[in-house]
């Protein structure tokens, strides 16, 4: 993806008032190209518009946000917006292919910043939920050092990528350049036979990498 100047987004929720509110919150740098009231309609809108980002409610008719994530995660980054802070809901969203999970109470400026990152493929979570996901990393920690074929540095990079840090931020943590981090990420994707950066979070959770 080239440098984004405007994010084309499809939003989906079965509450029209919420749709109107989030459309207003998005501001000038986001262009709503499609709206939907259920999962089936959302999937049709995504296939029609090929947006930069999909923002949808967890609980909608015809399969909800999880169905949208499963069926459209290869087309555009999917961010789930929900009132639920339940651990199972968050982890199910990640497993389905969502790149992020934000609470509906998220303030407008924080929402816009998170969605801008998500459109670039960065994992985004409300702060309390990010902590929950990291706790899950620790809980599921397994002996996986050799199976993936990743070097120790690649595992370090993977852990930071999965937490949603940018290449620049990871480079600052590891005292290497952002370009080196990008190269490591490319090698990790190749070794794990994954095609998208956001799939790394799912891999990290499943393999207990922290």
**Winning range, highest mean pLDDT, from 21-25, 127-131, 196-200:** 21-25
Which pLDDT score, from 0 to 100, does residue 164 have?
76
- The 8 Å CB, 24+ separation contacts for 146-155 are 148/191, 148/192, 148/207, 149/191, 150/188, 150/191, 150/192, 153/184, 154/184, 154/187, 154/188, 154/191, 155/209
pLDDT at 162 exceeding the cut of 70 = yes
Does residue 75 sit in the same domain as residue 31? yes
Banded pLDDT at 121 (limits 50, 70, 90): confident
Does residue 144 sit in the same domain as residue 122? no
Does residue 87 sit in the same domain as residue 155? no
Question: For helices 178-192 and 199-206, what crossing angle results, to 10°?
Answer: 70
Residue span of the structural domain in which 78 resides: 7-126
- The domain boundary, picked from 93, 126, 159, lies at 126
The number of distinct structural domains making up the chain is 2
Residue 2 domain-assigned (yes or no):
no
Does residue 35 sit in the same domain as residue 60? yes
| 68 contacts 42 by C-beta, under 8 angstroms | yes
Mean pLDDT, range 177-203, rounded to an integer: 84
Which pLDDT score, from 0 to 100, does residue 141 have?
47
Does residue 101 sit in the same domain as residue 12? yes
pLDDT at 64 exceeding the cut of 60 = yes
Which pLDDT score, from 0 to 100, does residue 125 have?
87
Does residue 11 sit in the same domain as residue 103? yes
Banded pLDDT at 143 (limits 50, 70, 90): very low
- The domain boundary, picked from 126, 155, 182, lies at 126
Banded pLDDT at 193 (limits 50, 70, 90): confident
Does residue 21 sit in the same domain as residue 91? yes
Residue 154 domain-assigned (yes or no):
yes
pTM of the shown model: 0.68
Does residue 70 sit in the same domain as residue 157? no
| 50 contacts 72 by C-beta, under 8 angstroms | no
Q: What pLDDT, in 10s, does the model give residues 92-106?
A: 888 888 988 999 888
Domain with 151 in it: what CATH number? 1.10.10.10
Residues in CB range of 117: below 8 A, 6 or more apart:
124, 164, 166
Banded pLDDT at 13 (limits 50, 70, 90): very high
Banded pLDDT at 120 (limits 50, 70, 90): confident
| High-pLDDT (> 70) share of the chain, % | 86
């Amino acid at each position: 993806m080239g440098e984004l100047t405007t994010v084309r987004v499809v939003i989906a929720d079965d509450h029209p008032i919420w749709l109107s509110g989030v459309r207003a919150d998005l501001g000038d740098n986001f262009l709503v190209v499609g709206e939907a009231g259920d999962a089936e309609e959302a999937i049709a809108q995504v296939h029609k518009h090929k947006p930069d980002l999909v923002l949808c409610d967890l609980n909608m008719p015809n399969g909800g946000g999880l169905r949208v994530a499963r069926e459209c995660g290869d087309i555009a980054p999917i961010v789930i917006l929900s009132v639920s802070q339940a651990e199972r809901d968050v982890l199910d969203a990640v497993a389905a292919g969502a790149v992020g999970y934000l609470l509906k109470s998220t303030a407008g400026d924080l929402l816009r910043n998170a969605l801008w990152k998500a459109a670039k493929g960065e994992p985004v979570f409300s702060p309390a939920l990010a902590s929950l996901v990291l706790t899950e990393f620790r809980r599921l920690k397994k002996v996986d050092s050799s199976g993936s074929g990743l070097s120790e540095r690649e595992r370090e990079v993977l852990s930071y990528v999965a937490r949603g840090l940018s290449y620049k931020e990871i480079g600052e943590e590891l005292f290497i350049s952002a370009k080196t981090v990008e190269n490591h990420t490319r090698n990790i994707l190749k070794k794990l036979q994954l095609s998208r950066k956001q799939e790394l979070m799912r891999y990290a959770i499943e393999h207990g990498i922290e």
